[in-house]
Every structure is written in C-alpha cells, then in structure tokens.
C-alpha cells in the first residue's frame, strides 16, 4: 500500500473518531424502588345489648301491652365465634320464655378494625319461621364505617300471635362488609 493511502485512511479514522466523540451523549439514569402495601378489610362485633332490660317490651303499634310491668321473657346476647385474633365475628342472640307480643331490639355494634373504610355489602336473614316471628334489620342511613370507628345495626324481633307454646325458633343473620368503593349507595 502506498503511504498516501495509509495517511488517507488514518486521517479518515481520526475524523470518524472525532465526530463520534463530539456527538456522544452524556446521560444519567434515575431509578425508583416501589413498594405497595395493601390495606386490610376487617370488621368485628365490639358491643351488643338488648332492649329488654326490665319490664318486657311489647311489639309497637299493636294490641299488646305490658302496663303491669311484667318481666317474663329474657333476651341474651353472647359471643359465639371468634377469629384467629380473638375478635368476635359471630354473636348468638337467644330469647327465653317469649310469648306473643314480646318485642326485642338487639343493638349490635360493629367496628371497622381494618385499615380501609368499609360499607355493608350484603345482608340476609335466613331460617325465620315467618308464622311465629317477624324479624327485620334496622340499618343506619349510611353503613360506611371508617377505620377505628363503629356502626350500629338493630335486629328487631317480634313474637307473633301464631307462635306455638313451648317451641324453639332459630334463624341466622349474615352481614357482609366490603371496601367502600365496591359498594354502591348507602
């Protein structure tokens, strides 16, 4: 090869290297570590009481009355099931020595023990002998409960005239709470 060609190739290589270095981009990368901790939906019963704390309450707006102040029947509410953390998740309401016209209002206080606001998603009452009992739920205007706060549900039970003497009636109430943004209304 001749020298001029070698010089030309060398010069060309130097030019390419110079242009490459001149057009090099300076940069710095930024990174982000992301950790997402999800919340917890958890509710528990924290308090309960029954309206029968003395003379037997009678079914409102009916012919039944207890002007003599008799205290015959009894409403008992006790914890039945707890979860792994010792939280009461099922209550047992027992009415003893009931009779037609007897009325019980069980005030059941639920607490949001989780970290996310909750609302009542569904509720059901199953197994009621409708010939013997009238059962309903008294729900608050809004069922949304914020973490650490409480809400009260009323279980209203009336013994009907057609209830049989010496009988035992059982039924179950199921309340399901979900995160607030999955429940419409209430």
Domain boundaries, the chain: 43-182
pLDDT at 24 over 70: no
- Given pLDDT bands bounded at 50, 70 and 90, which one contains residue 17? low
43-182 CATH fold: Immunoglobulin-like (2.60.40)
Supply the pTM of this predicted model. Answer: 0.80
**Residue of 133 and 13 predicted with greater confidence:** 133
Share of the chain above pLDDT 90, in %: 80
Question: What does the pLDDT look like over 41-74, one tens digit per residue?
Answer: 999 999 999 999 999 999 998 899 999 999 999 9
| Buried b / exposed e along 55-84 (16+ C-beta atoms within 10 A) | ebbbbeeeebeeeeeeeebebebeeeeeee
* Composition of the chain by helix, strand, coil, percent to 5: 10, 40, 50
Instruction: Write the DSSP assignment of 61-106 as a string of letters.
Output: TSS---TT-----EEEEEEEEE-TTS-EEEEEEEEES--TTBEEEE
Residue 136 confidence class, pLDDT cut points 50, 70, 90 = very high
Rounded mean pLDDT, 25-47: 91
């Amino acid at each position: 090869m001749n020298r001029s060609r070698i010089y030309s190739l060398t010069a060309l290589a130097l030019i390419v290297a110079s242009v490459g270095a001149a057009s090099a981009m300076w940069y710095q990368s930024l990174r982000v570590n992301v950790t997402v901790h999800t919340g917890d939906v958890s509710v528990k019963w924290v308090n309960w009481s029954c309206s029968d704390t003395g003379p037997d309450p009678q079914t409102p707006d009916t012919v039944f009355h207890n002007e003599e102040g008799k205290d015959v029947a009894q409403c008992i509410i006790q914890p039945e099931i707890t979860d792994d953390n010792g939280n009461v998740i099922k209550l047992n309401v027992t009415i003893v020595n009931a009779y037609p016209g007897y009325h019980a209002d069980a005030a059941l206080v639920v607490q949001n023990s989780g970290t996310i606001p909750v609302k009542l998603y569904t509720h059901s009452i199953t197994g009621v002998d409708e010939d013997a009992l009238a059962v309903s739920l008294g729900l608050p205007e809004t069922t949304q409960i914020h973490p650490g706060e409480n809400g009260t549900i009323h279980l209203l039970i009336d013994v009907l005239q057609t209830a049989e003497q010496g009988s035992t009636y059982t039924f179950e109430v199921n309340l399901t709470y979900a995160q607030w943004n999955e429940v419409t209304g209430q």
